Structure 1
Amino acid sequence: MAGLTGISHKDDIVALTAARTDRHTLPLLVLAAAMCAGIVIWGVGDVALASGFAAAVVGLAGLAHLFRRSNVLPDAAQDIVPDWTIARAAADASAMAIAVTDRTGKLMCASDLYGEWFPGYPAPPVLPLDRNGADRLAEAGRTAWRDGDAKVDDLARGALRLDLRVARTGRSEDFLLWHFTPVKQSSMIDEFARLVNGESGAALGDAGVMAAIIGAEGRLRAANPAFVGRATGRAETDLTGRDFAAYFRRDDDGRIFFVREAGSIVPIGIFRVALRQDQPDGAALIIMIDQPGDVGGSGSVLSYVEAVIALLPFGLAMADRDGRLLFVNNSFSRAAGLSHGQKPTYPGDLVVVEDQAALAAAVRRYAIGPQISGDIAVRLRVQPDEPVALSLAGVRGLGEAAVLLGLKDNSEESKLKRQVAQATKMQAVGQLAGGVAHDFNNILTAIIGHCDLMMMRHTPGDSDYDDIQQIKSNSNRAASLTRQLLAFSRQQTLRPQVLQLPDIVADVSNLLKRLLGETVKLEVSHGRNLGQVRADPGQLEQVIVNLAVNGRDAMPEGGVLSIKTYAVTTAQVREMRSTVLPPADYTALRISDTGTGIPPDLLPKIFEPFFTTKEVGKGTGLGLSTVYGIVKQSGGFIFAESEPGNGASFVLYLPVYVAAPGEQEPPAIKSPPPRRESWGTGTILLVEDEDMVRAVAERALTRQGYTVLTACDGEQGLEVLNSGQQIDLLLSDVVMPNMDGPSMVRQARHTHPDLPVVFMSGYAEEQLRKSIDIPNVSFLPKPFSVAQLSEAVRAGAGPEVAE
C-alpha cells in the first residue's frame, strides 16, 4: 500500500438527485394544472378562464422549482472533500513522514516515508512503537482535537528515534495532521568513524597501522587511507558499505593476507575492539598490522632476504621507514659508484644536492603508503650529467625494512646511447657539410677559371702573374678542404672494389713506417677466415694513414702502434648488444696506440669536422671526420675507445661482401682521359644555373675555338636544342631549378638520340650515379680548371669536334 487518498463525490450526488426530482415533478405539475382547469370549467363554465388559471399554476410552480434549485446547489458545492493526492505528492517531494486522519480515526492520506517507517500504513495512534509510544500518541491526538496542536518527543522504534507534531487542520478543522521527524543522535560509532576518517586515522597509517569501522552486518563504515591503499591500491577509494571480509584471504595455516597482495609472504594481524559492550556482535573497531614471523625457524625474514639479495646480479638496497639504508648489495654499490665497503647513511647521499629532497620524499611515501612500486629519475654524484632511473617498492613484514630500492648499472647502456646520439649528430652535420661543399665548389670553379683566364694573358715574370698563381694555389687548397667535407658527408666519389683488408694494410705498411718515425714501433697482426669487403682501396689507405698519424701524435715520447684485422661473426655482434651495429658478419680493423688517450668529455666530438686538439696551424680538424665519412660511405661503422693514460683504439667494422646470384660490378661512368691538346671546333650548348660558373665556362670554351650557346636551366636548354641549330655537345649541370640536367637529357634524347653529354656538378659522382645513369654520358666534378674543362669537352664530344 503506497499511500491512501480520500476523494468526495457529494457534488455528483447532488446533481444526480436534482435531475431525478426534475423528471418526477414535471408530470405532477401538468396533472395539477389540468385538474384546476377542470374545476373552473365545472364551476364557472368558462373555458378561457380555466386555461388562464392552469397556465398561472404551471408558471408559479416553475418559479418555485427554480428558486429551490438555486438554494440547494450552492450548499452542495460547499461540501467538497479535498483531493489528498496533492498533499501526499507534496510530502513525498519534501521527504516528510506525514499522515492525515479524520474524526473517526480513519487514515485519509499518508506519505511513502511514513509507510517505510510503519509498514502496512497503520493509522495513528495505533503504531508499533517501543514502550508506551502508542499511549503517548493517543494523548497527543486528544490534545490536538481540543487545543489545535500537540507535540511528542523521543518516540522510539528500534534504532529509529522520532519527534511528533500533531495539528488540527481542514476547512472545518475536522482532520488531524501527524508529522514525524527523525532525530539524529551522536553515537560512539559515529565518533570513531570521524576519528578513523580524519587526521587520527592518517597518523595511524603513517605508523603502519590500518584501522576500519565495521557494522554488525560486517560492512565497512569507515577506514583510514592506509587500509584503503593496501586493500584496493588507491587510497582515495570509497569503501563505505563494502564487505570487510572480501578484502582478505586465509591460507592453509590459518594466516590472513590481503587478496590484492597475492605474492605477499607477510600475514596480517587483525584485532577487534567492540564499540558497544552490550552487543558483542555489533559494530567494532578493527586494528590491522603486519605480522612478520620466522622463516623456517632459522633467522629473521630480514636476514634471509638480505642473504638472497646479496647473491642477485641486480643493484638492490633496503631502507627503513625513516629513509636510512639498511643493506646494499654489491651490484647496487657498483651502479652507484661506491667504493668497496662503502655504505652511505641515506639514499640522498648518492645523488646530487638538487635531487635529495625529491628522493627523500619518495622514500617516505613508499615506506608508509600502500605496497606499490615505481621509478624516480635522479642524477648520481658520480654521473651528475646523466639521469638514471631509481626503482622504489614498498615492502612489509621485513622488520625495519620498508622500502626496496633498485638501481641498474647502465654504464654500457649509457655508452650506447651516446653512440646513437653521436651518430645522429654526425648525420645532421654531414648533410650540412655536403651542402656547404657543393656551394663552395661552385664558387671555387669560378675563381679557378678566372685565374686560368687571367694567366693566359700574363707570362711568368709579369708583376701580376705571381699574384694570380697564389690565388689559384689557395683556391686549390680550398678545393681540397671541400673534398674532405664531401668525404665526411659521404658524398665523395668512390671507386669500390672487392678486396681483403690485409692486402690494403700490407700496401700501406712501408709508408707508415716512414711516417711513424724511429720512436714508434709498428705491430701488425691478421686474423684467420677474414671475409672480403667492398670498398675503395685508395680511400681505405687514407683511413689507415690518418688514424696512424693521429696515434703517432698521441705518443710524443714514442710507443707502440698496433694494427690488427679479425673476423666478427653475427653471434658475436649480438653478444655486444649494440644498438648501432646491426647483426651481420664483419671484417674488423683495430688501430691502437699506447699514448695519452682521449679525455671522456672530448671522445664524443672527435669525429666532428673542424674539431681538433692540436695547436693552431698543425691540423684542420678534418682528418677523423674524413675517416668517419669514408667508413660510413663504404657501409661500415667506426668506434673510438679510450681511457685517459691507457691509449686509444679505433675499431672499423666493414660488412663482409656477399655477391648476389648474377650480380655484376656497377659500370663506372666515363672519366676524362689524360690531358692533351685542347683546341677544337663545334657548337656546345652550356646549361648552368650559376651565373659565375656559366660565364667562366663560356669564356674558356670560346677561347678554345668553340661556339657556345647558353641556358640557365633545363627548360631553356630544350628550347635551344629544338631551335634547329646544330649542337655537337651538351655540357650541363646536374642539379638545377625548374628542370634538372638528367630530366632535360632524357627528353632531348627523343629528338637527339646520339647527342654526347658531359655532366658537371659540385656533388659527388657516386651520389649522382643513379640519376645520371644515361648512355653516352661523361662526368666532370667541380671545381675544375680551364684545362680540365677543355679535356672533358674533347673527350665527351669525340674526334669529329677536335681540331
Structure 2
Amino acid sequence: MAAAPPPLGVSLVHPAQRRLTHPPGIPQSGDMASQSPVVTPTAPASPLGQPIAIAVLAAVAAALAMLWLLGDLAIAAGALATGLIVAGGIASAVRFARQAPATEAVIDWSVARALAAASPDALAVTDRSGRLVCANDAYEALFGEFPTPPNLAVGDAGIAALGAAGRAAWRDGSASAPGLTGEAGQIDVSVTRAGDDMLVWRFAADPAKASGSDLAEAIAGATGDRLAAAGIMTVLVTPEGRVRAANRVFRLRAMGHEEAAIDGRDFARFLVTDGAGRIRFEREGDDAVPLRLVEVPLLDGDGAPILIALLDEEGGAIAAPVVGGSAASQIHALVSLLPFGLALVGRDGRLVHMNDAFVQAVGVKVAAPPLYPGDIVVREDKAPLADAIRRFGGGAQHSADMTVRLADRPDEAIALTLTGARGLGDAAVLIGLKDSGEEGKLKRQVAQATKMQAVGQLAGGVAHDFNNILTAIIGHCDLMLMRHTPGDSDYDDIQQVRINSNRAASLTRQLLAFSRQQTLRPQVLQLPDIISEVSNLLKRLLGETVALEVRHGRSLGSVRADPGQLEQVVVNLAVNARDAMLAANPSGGGTVTIETLAISASQVRQMDDEVLPVGDYSALRISDTGTGIPADVLPKIWEPFFTTKEVGKGTGLGLSTVYGIIKQSGGYIFAESPPGGGAVFTIFLPVHAAAPAAKPAPLAARPKADTWGTGLVLLVEDEDMVRAVAERALVRQGYTVIAAENGEAALELLETCERPDLLISDVVMPSMDGPTMVRHVRERYPDLPILFMSGYAEEQLRKSIDLDNVAFLPKPFSVQQLAEAARDVLAAK
C-alpha cells in the first residue's frame, strides 16, 4: 500500500507486492486519487527514411530494367511512377502506425472510485490472470491486508468455494458463494464478470454477528459497568436462549459472583415466575424484588442476538392498577388480573400486552417474547391470523372465532376470539383464548370419556336384552335337536339357526367387552406365554404373504388378566394389521411385529404422559409395515361400529372390544401412526406383585348322562320365553320345576310349597330383583344353593350378588350349559 491511502475509500495495491503486479493500462497506487489515468506511448521512434529509400531505389531499378529490355521510354517511366507510389504508401503506413497509440481511449476511474467508496461491502477486482487489480478500504478492513481472491482466510472449504465461484463467473457472467466462515464471521460472496478481462468480487459480512460481537464486548466491559451503576442489568442472549454476554451486576444477582462464568448458560434458568406472573431471580427466592424485563431491539436478522435489560420493579406487583396513571396503564393492569387468556394488539399489528393466562396458555418464552401474534402460530396460520387482525384493526364491528395451531405445539389446536378494541389506548384488537392450556385439554378428555361411557352403557343395555332373545333361540334349537338326529330333513336347518345364534352371541360379548361389562376370569400370567399360545394360530390367520416377528424383552413382570381375553386382543390387533397391509398392497407382503417390553416407573416418568400413571408395567407392542392410520381417523378407532373396511367386511367392534378388555383388566392402550410407517398399538398392563398361580387342571370330561338330576328347582325369570326354555330344559334333565315371573311371586310360592333344592333366578327383574329376593329366601333357608343368570356381566353385578354359596351363569346359554351349571351347584352343596 502507498504511505497515504487514496481518498474516497479506494485503496490500490502497491506495485512492489509480489503476485499483485498490474497489467498495462491499470492504475497503480495513488493514480485514482489524483487524476484519470492516460496511457502515454513510451516506445522509441524509428526513422522513416530507410524504408522510403529502399522503395525509391527499387522503383529506379525497375524502370532501368524495363528500358534496357524493351527499349521503350514510356513503359520505363510508368514502372518508375508505380514504384514511387508504393514508396509513398509505405511511408504513410509507417507514420500511421507510429501515431495510433496517441488516439487510444482514456480510462475514466472516477465513477468506479465513487461506487467503491459508497459501497458498505468489501470490493476487489481481479484480471484474467487472477491478479488483484484494486480493492477498497472495506476489503482491507475485512481481511486485514490485500490478499488475492480466492486465497482468503475462509478455510480450505471456503477457498474451494471461492475458486468455483470465480470459474463460474468467467463462464456464466456471475456466481456466488454464500455462508463462508471467516475471522469476521459469516461472509456472503458474489462475483460478477466486468467485460472480458476483469472480475468484480463483493464480500458482504453478516452485520448482525459482527455487531453482536461488538455489543457483547461492550456489555461485558465498561459500557456494561456504566449501565450497572445506573441499576440496569443487561444480558445478550442468543436466539436459542443462551447467554452470550452479561454485565457484572447481572452475574452477581444471577449467579452470586461478579466474575462468574455465565457464557453459554440457559438464560431462562436464572428466572422464575410466580402465580401473578412476577419475574424474580431463582437464587434470590420468593421474597426478592420482582423484575421488569425489557427487550431492546438493537440488532436485526434471524440470527441476531437479543439484548435484554432487567430493572427492579418498584412497588413489587406488576399487575397492580396504576392509581392516577393513564387509561392505557389501568387497562393493561386490569387485563393482567383476568383469569382468561387475553392479548392486546396495536394498530401496527404488534402485541401491546399479554396477560399471564395468555402467556401460560400459548407457552411464551420470557427470554424471547413474540412481537406479533403470528409469531406464536405455525407458518400456515400466520397469514390468516394477520389478515383477521388487520380487518378488525381497520374497524370491523363484529367478533370472529378462528382456530390456529401453536408453533411450539403444532399438533394442538386452540380457538381464538378476535374483537375490535376501540377506546383501549394503543390497542386496536383484543385476542381472547376460548379454550386454553391444560383446562381445555382436560375438558376434551372428559368429553371423550363421557361419550365413551354413554356408548358403553347403551351397548351394555342392548347386549342384555339381546342375550335374553338369544337364550330363547339357542334353547329352542337345543330342544328341537333333541328330537331330530343327523340325517333328518330339519336337522341341518336347526343347526344353521343355532350356529348363527352363537355368532350373534359373540357380537353381544364384544359389546359387553367394550362397555367393560363382560365376565373376566383373571389369572396371574406372563405375556410371553400368551404370545406363545397364540402364535401358531396367528401364522395361519396372517397367511403366507405376511410375516410374523416375535421379540421378547427381559425381566418382564407378571400381570393379572384373563388369558382368553388377552389372546383375543392379540389376534384382533394382528388380523387388523394384516387387513390394513393387504388393503394397501393387494398382492401381499408386509410384516407384523409383536414385542414384549418391561417398562419401569422411571421410564414412565420420562414419558410425561398425562394418562399413564407412574408405575411398573409389562408392555405389549404390535406394529405393522402398512400405510398407517390417517390423522382424522385415529381419534375414532375405539368407538363401536366405526370401521374403515368395506360394507360387510367388518362390524366395527374389533378395536372397541380390545379397548374394553384392556381397560377392564386395569391396563392402558395407545395407538400411534408415525409418519411414513405403519400403525403401532402399545398395551401397558400393571405388573402384579404376586407370583404366577399354577394353571388349574382341566376338569375330566363327564359323560352326558351326568347332567341328569333330581330335586325341586325354583325358577325365577321375568322374560317369558327364557323362563319357558329353562323350565323345559330342566324338566327334560329330570328336575321338578316350579316357575315364577318375578321375585315377589317367588316368595309367595315359597309360602305354599316345600323347601326347594335349588333356586335359579335372573338378577335384574322389575319390582324385586334377584339379590333382594335371595336375601329374603336366605332368612328362611340359610343354606339354600343359588344359581344366578343374567344377560349382564358378572363383574357388573358382583357387588349385588356377593353372597355365600352363589354361582353365576351368563346369558345366552344352551340347554347343556344350564344342566351342567345346575348339576355343579347341587354337587357342591
User: How high is the TM-score relative to the length of structure 2?
Assistant: 0.50
User: Structure 2: which amino acid aligns with 1:380?
Assistant: V
Q: For residue 588 of structure 1, what is the aligned residue in structure 2?
A: 619
1:410 Cα deviation (Å)? 8.6
Q: What is the rounded CA distance, in whole Å, between the counterparts of 1:542 and 1:568 in structure 2? A: 23
Q: What is the rounded CA distance, in whole Å, between the counterparts of 1:308 and 1:550 in structure 2? A: 56
Whether 1:630 and 2:661 are equivalent positions in the alignment is: yes
1:532 Cα deviation (Å)? 2.2
Q: For residue 684 of structure 2, what is the aligned residue in structure 1?
A: 653
Contact 2:525 2:693 in 1 (8 A): no
Whether 1:676 and 2:676 are equivalent positions in the alignment is: no
Instruction: Tell me which of 672, 682, 702 is aligned to 1:641.
Output: 672
Q: What is the rounded CA distance, in whole Å, between the counterparts of 1:705 and 1:787 in structure 2? A: 13
Q: What is the rounded CA distance, in whole Å, between the counterparts of 1:592 and 1:630 in structure 2? A: 19
Contact 1:318 1:328 in 2 (8 A): no
Q: What's the secondary structure of 1:722's corresponding residue?
A: helix
Contact 1:295 1:301 in 2 (8 A): no
1:693 Cα deviation (Å)? 0.9
Q: What is the rounded CA distance, in whole Å, between the counterparts of 1:706 and 1:758 in structure 2? A: 15
**Unaligned 5+ runs, structure 2:** 1-228, 233-275, 280-293, 309-340, 353-367
Structure 1 residues 570, 316: closer, same or farther in 2, change over 3 A? farther
1:644 Cα deviation (Å)? 6.0
Whether 1:436 and 2:467 are equivalent positions in the alignment is: no
User: Structure 1: which amino acid aligns with 2:574?
Assistant: A
Q: For residue 560 of structure 2, what is the aligned residue in structure 1?
A: 534
Instruction: Tell me which of 814, 817, 820 is aligned to 1:791.
Output: 820
Q: What is the rounded CA distance, in whole Å, between the counterparts of 1:594 and 1:321 in structure 2? A: 53
Q: What is the rounded CA distance, in whole Å, between the counterparts of 1:747 and 1:715 in structure 2? A: 10
The one-character-per-residue Cα deviations of 1:90-138 (angstroms, maximum 9, x if unpaired) are: xxxxxxxxxxxxxxxxxxxxxxxxxxxxxxxxxxxxxxxxxxxxxxxxx
Q: What's the secondary structure of 1:378's corresponding residue?
A: strand
The one-character-per-residue Cα deviations of 1:335-371 (angstroms, maximum 9, x if unpaired) are: 52216xx964x8434xxx7x97558769x99xxxxxx
The one-character-per-residue Cα deviations of 1:290-330 (angstroms, maximum 9, x if unpaired) are: xxxx999x938999999369xxxxx9999652337999969
1:624 Cα deviation (Å)? 0.8
Instruction: List aligned pairs for 1:477-516, cutoff 5 A.
Output: 477-516=503-542
Contact 2:392 2:420 in 1 (8 A): no
Contact 2:460 2:515 in 1 (8 A): yes
1:682 Cα deviation (Å)? 2.2
Instruction: Tell me which of 761, 766, 776 is aligned to 1:732.
Output: 761
Contact 1:490 1:633 in 2 (8 A): yes
Q: What's the secondary structure of 2:576's corresponding residue?
A: helix
User: Structure 1: which amino acid aligns with 2:736?
Assistant: T
1:443 Cα deviation (Å)? 0.8
Instruction: List aligned pairs for 1:206-605, cutoff 5 A.
Output: 299=298, 307=306, 321-323=347-349, 336-338=377-379, 344=383, 347-349=385-387, 357=391, 378-380=402-404, 387-389=414-416, 421-556=447-582, 557=585, 558-605=589-636
Q: What is the rounded CA distance, in whole Å, between the counterparts of 1:674 and 1:610 in structure 2? A: 40
Q: For residue 695 of structure 1, what is the aligned residue in structure 2?
A: 724
User: Structure 2: which amino acid aligns with 1:778?
Assistant: A
Instruction: Tell me which of 754, 771, 780 is aligned to 2:783.
Output: 754
**Unaligned 5+ runs, structure 1:** 1-251, 256-260, 265-293, 310-314, 366-374, 395-399
1:457 Cα deviation (Å)? 3.5
Q: For residue 718 of structure 1, what is the aligned residue in structure 2?
A: 747
Q: What is the rounded CA distance, in whole Å, between the counterparts of 1:450 and 1:788 in structure 2? A: 14
Contact 2:351 2:371 in 1 (8 A): no
Contact 2:417 2:432 in 1 (8 A): yes
1:489 Cα deviation (Å)? 1.2
The one-character-per-residue Cα deviations of 1:608-629 (angstroms, maximum 9, x if unpaired) are: 1222111222222211111111
Q: What is the rounded CA distance, in whole Å, between the counterparts of 2:394 and 2:767 in structure 1? A: 64
Query: Bigger CA drift: 422-431 or 691-700?
Result: 422-431
The one-character-per-residue Cα deviations of 1:571-623 (angstroms, maximum 9, x if unpaired) are: 44344443332333322222111211111221111111222111222222211
Contact 1:335 1:407 in 2 (8 A): no
The one-character-per-residue Cα deviations of 1:143-195 (angstroms, maximum 9, x if unpaired) are: xxxxxxxxxxxxxxxxxxxxxxxxxxxxxxxxxxxxxxxxxxxxxxxxxxxxx
What is the number of residues matched between the two proteins?
Answer: 485
User: How high is the TM-score relative to the length of structure 1?
Assistant: 0.52
Q: For residue 29 of structure 2, what is the aligned residue in structure 1?
A: none
Q: What is the rounded CA distance, in whole Å, between the counterparts of 1:751 and 1:409 in structure 2? A: 61
Q: What is the rounded CA distance, in whole Å, between the counterparts of 2:411 and 2:548 in structure 1? A: 40
1:523 Cα deviation (Å)? 3.0
The one-character-per-residue Cα deviations of 1:464-491 (angstroms, maximum 9, x if unpaired) are: 3333222222211111111111111111
Instruction: List aligned pairs for 1:105-254, cutoff 5 A.
Output: none
Q: What is the rounded CA distance, in whole Å, between the counterparts of 2:434 and 2:753 in structure 1? A: 77
RMSD: 5.0
1:633 Cα deviation (Å)? 0.5
User: Structure 2: which amino acid aligns with 1:388?
Assistant: A
Q: For residue 779 of structure 1, what is the aligned residue in structure 2?
A: 808
1:552 Cα deviation (Å)? 1.5
The one-character-per-residue Cα deviations of 1:730-749 (angstroms, maximum 9, x if unpaired) are: 11111222222222223322
1:426 Cα deviation (Å)? 1.9
Q: What is the rounded CA distance, in whole Å, between the counterparts of 1:586 and 1:391 in structure 2? A: 46
Q: What is the rounded CA distance, in whole Å, between the counterparts of 2:790 and 2:558 in structure 1? A: 32
The one-character-per-residue Cα deviations of 1:205-226 (angstroms, maximum 9, x if unpaired) are: xxxxxxxxxxxxxxxxxxxxxx
1:442 Cα deviation (Å)? 0.6
1:641 Cα deviation (Å)? 1.0
Q: What is the rounded CA distance, in whole Å, between the counterparts of 1:711 and 1:498 in structure 2? A: 41
Contact 2:295 2:306 in 1 (8 A): no
Structure 1 residues 328, 735: closer, same or farther in 2, change over 3 A? same
The one-character-per-residue Cα deviations of 1:675-732 (angstroms, maximum 9, x if unpaired) are: 6223333221111111111122122222333221111222222222232414121111
Structure 1 residues 446, 672: closer, same or farther in 2, change over 3 A? farther
User: Structure 1: which amino acid aligns with 2:379?
Assistant: L
Q: What is the rounded CA distance, in whole Å, between the counterparts of 1:704 and 1:303 in structure 2? A: 88
Q: What is the rounded CA distance, in whole Å, between the counterparts of 1:616 and 1:295 in structure 2? A: 61
Instruction: List aligned pairs for 1:49-88, cutoff 5 A.
Output: none
Q: What is the rounded CA distance, in whole Å, between the counterparts of 1:316 and 1:754 in structure 2? A: 70
1:650 Cα deviation (Å)? 0.9
User: Structure 1: which amino acid aligns with 2:474?
Assistant: I
Q: What's the secondary structure of 1:555's corresponding residue?
A: helix
Q: What is the rounded CA distance, in whole Å, between the counterparts of 2:463 and 2:744 in structure 1? A: 26
Contact 1:687 1:713 in 2 (8 A): yes
Contact 1:335 1:409 in 2 (8 A): no
Contact 1:323 1:347 in 2 (8 A): no
Structure 1 residues 703, 316: closer, same or farther in 2, change over 3 A? closer
Q: What is the rounded CA distance, in whole Å, between the counterparts of 2:371 and 2:503 in structure 1? A: 58
Q: What is the rounded CA distance, in whole Å, between the counterparts of 1:648 and 1:553 in structure 2? A: 12
Structure 1 residues 759, 302: closer, same or farther in 2, change over 3 A? same
